[in-house]
Amino acid sequence: MVIVSVNPYRELPIYSAEYVKSYKGREIFERPPHIFAIAEAAYKTLKQRSTNSCIVISGESGSGKTEASKVILRYIAAVTNSSNQTGIERIKNILIQTTCVLESFGNAKTNRNDNSSRFGKYMDINFDFKFDPIGGIIRHYLLEKSRVVKQQEGERNFHSFYQLLFNGETTKYGLKLKPEQYNYINQGNCSKINKIDDKHDYQQVMQAMKIVGFKQDETDTIWKIVAAIIHLGNLQFEDQDGEYCRVKSTTDGELSWLSKLLSCQESDISSTLTKRIVATQKEIIAAHQNTTKAYYGRDALAKALYERMFIWLIDHINQTISIDPEKLDSYSHNKSSLVIGVLDIYGFEIFTNNSFEQLCINYCNEKLQQLFIELVLKQEQEEYEREGITWQHIDYFNNKIICDLIEQPRVGIIAHLDEACYQVGNVTDEMFLDSLNKSLKTHKHYTSWALSPGDKLLKNNQKHFLIRHYAGDVTYNVEGFLDKNRDTLFQDFKRLLYNSTNPVIKSMFPEGKQDIGVVTKRPQTAGTVFRNSMIALVDILSSKQPLYVRCIKPNEEKSSNLFDQTRVEHQVEYLGLLENVRVRRAGFAHRTPYTRFVQRYKIIDTVRSKLYPKAKNSSDKESATFICKQLNIENNVAYGKTKLFIKEP
C-alpha cells in the first residue's frame, strides 16, 4: 500500500478530530487518500490479522517525512483506548512528546529544510492483546555530529544550542556573549531565523522532558553539556615554540566554566586538551600537542560529547517506554506483543559541498528505494509469474547496482575507505580517492575529476568523486572522509569525562574506566557501523507488512525555466511512482490463499453454505471459484496456483 503525500507548506484543516473519526475503522478504499488511511491500514493489519506492520516514510529532505510521522503517531493515539486507562494514556503522551525532545537535539536548519532531521529514527510501537499501545522502542541512526563544530553558510547548528542561548537564562551557564560571538554557533551567519521561535521551543522541550520522565538533575546536565560545548568552541590555544601549546587565558573564563559545567578539574581539562598520554613499553609519557592537534582534539571532544549525550537521551527515553519482558505475559497471549513500526529517516540530499555524512544519508535512501523495489515492484511481479497469472512485465530501474557500489565487501566504497583507514603510515584522503578511481573506473555509476575532467559537475573539483544516485548525480568532497570514518576519540578525553563527578556525564563515557596502557580492540569504523545498521534496518522492515508514505516536495512557486523538468516530475520519476502505478493498475490489489478466502467467505456461498464443511470435497480453489461466480466478480479476479487475486473495484 502506498500513499503519495505532497508537502503543503501550510496548515491544512485535515487533521482534526472529525477527520480522525471519518477514517477510524474504515477500509482504505472507502475514504479519499490520507495519511490517516495508511495509519488505519497499519492498525487494521494488527487487529484483523495479528500481523506486525511498518510504515516507511521516504522522500527527499524537506518533503514532509517528520510531519507525516507525527500525524501517524497522533492518529494511533487518537483511535486507541478512549477509556482513559492511566498506563496507556501515559505511554501515548510520552510517545508524542519524544518527538519534541528529539527534534531539539537532533534537528537543525539546513539549506533545504529549516527543521531537518540530522539523524535517522525508527520507532516500534508495541500493542497489547486489546490493541492498545503499551510501549515502544526507538532505534537511531548516525547523528550528523560534524555539525556541532562546523556549519555551512545559511545553516545552523542543532536547534538545542539556539534554544539555550535565546531562552534568557544564559548567565547561569556563563554564556554572556551574543550568539554571533560563539564559534560553534555562528558559522552559517543565521543564528536567528524568522520561522523558528527558539525561546518558545525551549519551554516546550523542558515541558516535554518532564512528561517523558527526565529528572531535574538529568535535564540540568543535558543543558550544561550543551553550554559546555558552546564554551569549548571559544576556547583558544597559543603556540609555545611551535611544538607545545597551552590554553589561552581569556576574559570569558571558558576553562573555568567548562570545569563547572562538566564537573571536571580545570587543570585536567587543560592538560587533556594540550597533551596526549602515550604508553610505551617502558613508561607512560605525556606528549605535548601543537596548536593544530589541540584544536583537532577540542573539536573531537565537542562532537563526542554531543553524540554521547544524544545517545544517552534516546536510551533514557527507551528505558521509560520499553515494555518489561517479564510482564509480557499479562499483555499478550504468546509472549510477544504486536508492533507497528514507523521509519522517519533523513531524506536524500545534495548540497554545494557533500561529505561523508551525505554519502551515508544518500546510501540509506538507496537502501530504502531498494526495499521498495524489492517489495512493491519486484516481488509483486514475481508472485504473478510464480502463481501462473498472465503478466506483461513492467520495466523499472533497479538501483541495486548503486547499493552494491557503496556497500559491497572488499570492492565497495565503504570497504575502500576502511582499507585506507586501517593502513599504517600517512594515508591521505587523496590516496583513498586514487584507490576508488583505480578500482571503479569502469563503473557506470561512479566517476571523478581524474576520470571525467570534462564533467560539468566535477569541473575544478579535483578532490571530488561523483555517484550517479537513483535520485540524481551527487559529487562528494573526499576531504575529511578518513577522519570521519575513523571517528577517533582519544582515550584521554574518555578518561577525563569518566572522572567527572556528575554521574550522568560519567555514565556516558564508560570506556574511560580503562587503565592507561591497556590495549583495546580496534573499534569498527563509522562507515561499517552505518552499513551494518542499514542492513539490519532492512531486515527489520522486511519482516513486517510494509506500508509506504512517499513524500514529495512541491515545485518552487516561481519555476525558473518552463522547459526544465520540474522538481515534482523529477521526484515522481526517481521514486518509481509511475512504475508503481503501472504494476498496480495492471495487477491485483488484493490476494489471499484459497483456504483463507473460503474460510472467511463461505457464508456468502448461499447455495452450498449448508453443505460446509462437506463442500470441502471440492478443492478450496473450486469453492473460491464458485463463490466468485455467485458474486458476479469473475471479471475482476484471477485464479493463481495457490491464491485468489482480486482487482480494485
Active-site residue set:
61-62, 66, 113, 116-117, 347, 349
Should residue 347 be labelled a site residue for ligand ATP when binding is judged by CB under 6 A? yes
Mark the segment that binds ligand ATP (CB under 6 A) among 110-118, 383-391, 408-416, 434-442.
Answer: 110-118
C-alpha cell at 567: 522538481
Should residue 551 be labelled a site residue for ligand ATP when binding is judged by CB under 6 A? yes
Candidates 127, 202, 346, 509; binder of ligand ATP (CB under 6 A) is: 346
What string of DSSP letters covers 178-230? Answer: -GGG-TTTSTTS-SS-TT--HHHHHHHHHHHHHHHT--HHHHHHHHHHHHHHH
CB closer to ligand ATP out of 5 and 502: 5
Provide the pairing of β-strand 116-117 with 637-639: unpaired
User: Phi/psi of residue 474, each to 5°?
Assistant: -130, 130
Candidates 116, 157, 274, 623; binder of ligand ATP (CB under 6 A) is: 116
Residue among 273, 281, 260 at smallest CA distance from 171: 260
Task: Give the 3-state secondary structure percentages of the chain, helix then strand then coil, rounded to 5.
Answer: 50, 15, 35
Angle at 53 between CA 48 and CA 58, to 5 degrees: 140
| Residue with cell string 539555550 | 164
Query: Is there a binding annotation on residue 59?
Result: yes
Candidates 45, 52, 53, 63; binder of ligand ATP (CB under 6 A) is: 63
* Alpha helices, H only, 328-399: 328-331, 356-372, 379-386
CB closer to ligand ATP out of 160 and 502: 160
Q: Which residues contact 251 (CB under 8 A, 6 or more apart)?
A: none
Mark the segment that binds ligand ATP (CB under 6 A) among 9-17, 210-218, 298-306, 311-319.
Answer: 9-17
Amino acid, res. 318: N
Residue among 187, 147, 63 at smallest CA distance from 357: 147
Query: Is there a binding annotation on residue 62?
Result: yes
Should residue 11 be labelled a site residue for ligand ATP when binding is judged by CB under 6 A? yes
Candidates 4, 6, 7, 506; binder of ligand ATP (CB under 6 A) is: 7
Residue 240: its H or E element: strand 237-240
Q: CB of residue 444 vs ligand ATP: minimum separation in angstroms? A: 27
Should residue 643 be labelled a site residue for ligand ATP when binding is judged by CB under 6 A? no
CB closer to ligand ATP out of 64 and 188: 64
Return the bridge partners of 638, or none.
645
Should residue 354 be labelled a site residue for ligand ATP when binding is judged by CB under 6 A? no
Return d(Cα 300, Cα 290) in angstroms, integer.
Answer: 15
Q: CB of residue 71 vs ligand ATP: minimum separation in angstroms? A: 7
CB closer to ligand ATP out of 69 and 580: 69
Mark the segment that binds ligand ATP (CB under 6 A) among 111-119, 519-527, 531-539, 624-632.
Answer: 111-119
Should residue 113 be labelled a site residue for ligand ATP when binding is judged by CB under 6 A? yes
Should residue 97 be labelled a site residue for ligand ATP when binding is judged by CB under 6 A? no
Cβ atoms of 210 and 226 within 8 Å: the answer is no
CB closer to ligand ATP out of 10 and 282: 10
Q: CB of residue 351 vs ligand ATP: minimum separation in angstroms? A: 12
Query: Is there a binding annotation on residue 40?
Result: no
Q: CB of residue 118 vs ligand ATP: minimum separation in angstroms? A: 8
CB closer to ligand ATP out of 106 and 297: 106
Q: Which residues contact 38 (CB under 8 A, 6 or more apart)?
A: 1, 3, 28, 55, 72, 547, 548, 549
Task: For residue 143, count CB atoms less than 10 angstroms from its CB and return exposed for 0-12, middle for 13-18, buried for 19 or more.
Answer: buried
Should residue 117 be labelled a site residue for ligand ATP when binding is judged by CB under 6 A? yes
CB closer to ligand ATP out of 72 and 340: 72
Residues binding ligand ATP (CB under 6 A): 7-12, 59, 61-67, 113, 115-117, 346-347, 551
Binding site feature residues for ATP: 59-66
